[in-house]
Chains A and B, each alone.
Chain A
């Protein structure tokens, strides 16, 4: 039964991720041990963050299920609830309701495949969760390619982890920024351009692409040119949400409910939908 009651959690840590201060990561721990055990999610799912007096917002789960003792959410300061959340401090209490929606098929379609992850801006959150899930069972997957871009070096999320991943030999990592910047000696260029240069083979592969719609639009042609099909490509949609449980209708895109049927869809599924997202 759907109860709309969040689990009580405590803010255990807050990290300011970006130079503009607009992205913060919140590490949350359950107040009740039983809830820690009860919580089971899949990378790509989301949850409702609940602030008494402010409301609830859907946020992608940035932690992997393998990070068992806490949850991580990276939140962009945008409106009412996200601003209130940004003002909270370590030790404060709030609520989490979920996990909600369908995640990436890490245990099914992705198993045994080469994985190509393409992320733009702060849509990287659930892809961080995915990468960590994959690394925990590295031998279940083939080659892992991770392409991630942000406007400036200071706008990249999870910078410490990016460095750790770069040092591992088992991820083909490409981190890029939009324009030259002092002190940056990495890749420069938009994500679609870099994706075109990396040109990951579609053979026995699956791609997960999350980012602004414009990035997705321009990333597809170079991939299609080398043989990628719509069934191999997974996207994550966003729409305004209220219940997150497929009841309130807010998130509908035609007959599809993003909160329940998604937010993860194959590109083929997305193409069949009216453009109402």
Chain B
């Protein structure tokens, strides 16, 4: 792996260079979160100097996760016309899709990992894969963690560069830049960057070593436990009563990936779109007959947690949660997935 060292001014120059050929995004600060018309909430387009504005972001997760770059709201799956005069009326066409490379700055290690996890169910999904190909993640290794962060517990680490294309970490008077992929390599090609001094590289390695081995977690005992033990637990009752099924936790979650598909027709021009859905909503599972297999709130709350902590790992191996803590921060009734995990662990220990 190539490792460079750059000054804040050089980072500005890099971003300027990328901006000439790619579309560059950065996390929005609290105040501007909803105020950028040309990109997803929580993100903004970068123009001009960015390095210094990005600095406060070395702590804790960004406002919004990177989910919208891979899973845009909405994604057009196909288009058609319904105009009567058109001979191709009703014929489905491939949608026009942007091939522009997008560079996302300030990505957290937890969010980078979420893309790798979502890639498991989306392995064969043409749209997700195309978005992956055209998105480069330029991440910041976390200087500090927040009280809501628990990436290490989920098998990640605040110092991880897994899933990032370029990983920046703070060093004295500048940043260390780790080139982690071919996409990352392409981003630094043509820029004359100085190799990182040996001392900085070993200091970063020492920080990582001190963090211990994150891949094995005490939670793994959940994976081997019987579904029935977890499913029938009494705890769901009280959790389901507290949860108001607002769905906030699922929308802000980087690893919630379910979607709905609908047809949308505006003035005779139609498209089939997919957009984020939430298993917290009763409509999600409602049959046309009126029968609803998860008609009760408690069933839906249980489904969200068990999907992350049991169903997904049963199918793919890892848990479907990166420990970013967004759902912990934003739940209006203070439901905390860490407590849910503790309770489940307790159950399996008793078992």
Query: Is A249 touching B293 in the complex (CB atoms < 8 A)?
Result: no
Among the interface residues B80, B227, B261, B274, which one has the most CB atoms of the partner chain A within 10 A? B261
CB distance from A22 to the nearest CB of B (A): 13
Query: Is A247 touching B263 in the complex (CB atoms < 8 A)?
Result: no
The A interface is mostly helix, strand or loop, or mixed, namely loop
CB distance from B307 to the nearest CB of A (A): 7
Contacts A2-B124, A240-B287 known; A255 to B310 CB distance under 8 Å?
Answer: yes
Interface bin, chain A: 35 or more
Interface bin, chain B: 35 or more
How far, in angstroms, from A122 to B277 measured CA to CA in the complex? Answer: 31
How far, in angstroms, from A95 to B77 measured CA to CA in the complex? Answer: 14
In the complex, whether A236 has a CB less than 8 A from a CB of chain B is no
Binds B, one of A3-11, A127-135, A186-194, A199-207: A3-11
Query: Is B277 touching A3 in the complex (CB atoms < 8 A)?
Result: no
In the complex, whether B96 has a CB less than 8 A from a CB of chain A is no
Neighbour of B124 across the interface among A1, A240, A250, CB < 8 A: A1
Binds A, one of B22-30, B87-95, B213-221, B328-336: B87-95
In the complex, whether B84 has a CB less than 8 A from a CB of chain A is no
Query: Is A5 touching B287 in the complex (CB atoms < 8 A)?
Result: no
Among the interface residues B91, B127, B227, B293, which one has the most CB atoms of the partner chain A within 10 A? B293
In the complex, whether B265 has a CB less than 8 A from a CB of chain A is yes
Neighbour of B92 across the interface among A8, A240, A276, CB < 8 A: A8
Residue of chain A at shortest CB distance from B264:
A53
Query: Is A249 touching B310 in the complex (CB atoms < 8 A)?
Result: no
Residues of B within 8 A of A240 (CB): 284-287
- Mask of A147-169 contacts with B, CB within 8 angstroms, 1/0: 00000000000000000000000
Query: Is A242 touching B78 in the complex (CB atoms < 8 A)?
Result: no
How far, in angstroms, from A252 to B272 measured CA to CA in the complex? Answer: 23
Residues of B within 8 A of A249 (CB): 121, 257-258, 279, 307
In the complex, whether B202 has a CB less than 8 A from a CB of chain A is no
Among the interface residues A5, A55, A249, A252, which one has the most CB atoms of the partner chain B within 10 A? A249
Query: Is A242 touching B259 in the complex (CB atoms < 8 A)?
Result: yes
Query: Is A2 touching B126 in the complex (CB atoms < 8 A)?
Result: yes
Residues of A within 8 A of B259 (CB): 242-243, 247-248
Contacts A53-B263, A53-B270, A276-B299 known; A254 to B231 CB distance under 8 Å?
Answer: yes
- Mask of B247-264 contacts with A, CB within 8 angstroms, 1/0: 000000000011111110
Residues of A within 8 A of B91 (CB): 8, 52, 93
Residues of A within 8 A of B294 (CB): 276
Query: Is A277 touching B261 in the complex (CB atoms < 8 A)?
Result: no
Residue of chain B at shortest CB distance from A245:
B124
- Mask of B284-328 contacts with A, CB within 8 angstroms, 1/0: 111111000110000100010011001100110000000000000
CB distance from B266 to the nearest CB of A (A): 11
Residues of B within 8 A of A78 (CB): 288-289
Neighbour of A239 across the interface among B231, B265, B277, B285, CB < 8 A: B285
Residues of A within 8 A of B92 (CB): 5-6, 8, 50, 52, 95
Query: Is A4 touching B77 in the complex (CB atoms < 8 A)?
Result: yes
- Mask of B102-126 contacts with A, CB within 8 angstroms, 1/0: 0000000000000000000110111
Chain A residues proximal to chain B, CB less than 8 Å: 1-6, 8, 50-56, 78-79, 82, 93-95, 238-240, 242-243, 245-250, 252-255, 272, 274-277
| 8 nearest A-B residue pairs (beta carbon) | A249-B258, A255-B311, A52-B90, A276-B293, A4-B77, A79-B288, A78-B288, A1-B126
23 A-B pairs in the complex with CB atoms less than 8 angstroms apart: A1-B124, A1-B126, A4-B272, A50-B92, A52-B90, A53-B265, A55-B272, A79-B288, A242-B260, A242-B277, A243-B259, A246-B121, A247-B122, A247-B125, A248-B259, A248-B261, A249-B307, A250-B260, A253-B293, A254-B231, A255-B310, A274-B227, A276-B293
